[in-house]
Amino acid sequence: MSTVLHEDPYLESWRWMSRQIRCGLDPNEPRLIEHYLNEGRYLACCTATHPWTIAETAFRLLIDTATDIALPWHWRSMCLDQAWRPLRDLEKLSHCACRLKRWQTFAWQLATCELLPSISHSDLVQGSNDE
């Protein structure tokens, strides 16, 4: 029980950082991604949160953010550039056939990820005026 009490603030901080990344709230702050990944590693080694869950969540967050055309190109690019890090952690944790298969799926997803151009700000504004 004491682990859960100590885990909560870190988990909440990690979740808040994930929302900042996913929504591109501070796209000119690449250190946010590093901080998020470091906080995830802390959760994985020092709390009851399972390392696979942390790594998979981080990988999916970075890939989903990278492929979101509504976000700035440079932010999406930074997320894609860092997606290999949680993928590497997943590979190390792939001790059974089902996890290895999931890792292979994620690795393929990263290897074949194409970044489409971001929607320009003027297109976003114009799209909201059309309704």
43, 7 Cβ separation under 8 angstroms? yes
Residue with token string 């792939």: 94
Residue 7 token pair = 């885990």
Burial of 97 (0-12, 13-18, 19+ CB in 10 A): exposed
* Nearest CA-CA partner of 91 in 73, 106, 75, 109: 106
pLDDT of residue 4: 47
pLDDT of residue 33: 98
Residue 68: partners with Cβ closer than 8 Å, 6 or more residues away: 22, 24, 76
pLDDT of residue 120: 83
Helix or strand (DSSP H, E) at 65: helix 51-66
- What secondary structure does DSSP assign to 19-37, as a single string? HHHHHTSSTT-THHHHHHH
Whether residue 44 is predicted with pLDDT greater than 60 in this model: the reply is: yes
Whether residue 15 is predicted with pLDDT greater than 60 in this model: the reply is: yes
**pLDDT, greater one: 29 or 6:** 29
Lowest mean pLDDT among 66-75, 91-100, 120-129: 120-129
Cα dist from 115 to 75, 90, 95, 110, whole Å: 11, 23, 31, 11
pLDDT of residue 5: 44
Whether residue 101 is predicted with pLDDT greater than 70 in this model: the reply is: yes
Lowest mean pLDDT among 2-11, 26-35, 50-59, 105-114: 2-11
Total-model pTM: 0.87
Residue 103 token pair = 């890792």
Read off the pLDDT band of 71 (50, 70, 90).
Answer: very high
